[in-house]
Chain A
């Protein structure tokens, strides 16, 4: 039986993302007709790849699209005056 793209799957993926190992609370999971889209940002490419790998391993028959970005870390060019 193939995995249903339903709310329970979404909840299971969220709990996998927030378990001790991955520890990412800021990843979004969007259900499309035939696949799941992961979004949000993490701090490194290794972290993004590990997330996608673990979800793929856990749900091999679900098509996962990984749109997770890496948060940029350049110095700022502006100063905000607080008043």
Chain B
């Protein structure tokens, strides 16, 4: 059994310091790792990244994140990533990490993702150069997610994105902006792999639960959606922990 805590869209700046900390101090009693689905900061500045590290760092469990669109706002995503990495936080963008937890291997592959829309209402790779660049960006990111998911051999595989891979978890948002909140290409990438769970954020007014067309459970963990410091998900419920067997 593995328990992972997850949240997204915490948008940390000085004014948020201390708000999550009491709940985070309890996190090691409730979960084995914390995954954060992007929009860690408000404007993607180095100062805000330091605030994020103060609030979410040093938890005693591994912290794995992807960046969100807000973390790109100041064009400082490389420096933001450095601040996070220096604090021991794993930042995924087109790669995967493996955590050994209770004798199980948990694989997490992450990308920020991008918009584009969903079947029947999506942008297509056609026409103006700007449009092709937009959809081309979406397609490249989705391919990188699929490659990252396929790059690890694990007992449980989780896809972590900021943008949504399905429209199910956008319900509550205006239909007109779905194409800016996610894309079907991320869902198709996830469905091409043995992923057990897909986590995303970004859709502050969306809803919590959905599934990819291939049946993978999807959870929108944006903070305003889950309305608590983090959610906890249990994976490999039926498996026997090797630590217990050894006793």
Contact = CB atoms under 8 A, between A and B. Distances in A.
Contact of A76 (B15, B20, B223, B231): B231
B42 A23 contact: yes
Q: Indicate the size class of the contact surface on chain A.
A: 20 to 34
Interface in B1-40: 3, 10-13, 15-16, 19-20, 22-23, 26-27, 30
A62 B86 CA distance: 47
B27 A40 contact: no
B237 interface: yes
Interface residues of B, number: 35
Interface string A45-78: 0110000000000000000000000011111101
Contacts of B235: 82
B234 interface: yes
B196 interface: yes
Determine the main DSSP class of A at the interface with B: loop
A23 B43 CA distance: 7
Contacts of B224: 26, 40-41, 71
Interface string B140-164: 0000000000000000000000000
A78 to B, nearest CB: 7
A75 B234 contact: no
Contacts of A40: 204-205, 224
Interface of B: 3, 10-13, 15-16, 19-20, 22-23, 26-27, 30, 42-43, 70, 73, 196-197, 204-205, 217, 223-224, 227-235, 237
13 contacts: A20-B73, A23-B42, A23-B73, A44-B16, A73-B23, A74-B229, A76-B230, A79-B233, A80-B231, A80-B232, A80-B233, A81-B234, A82-B196
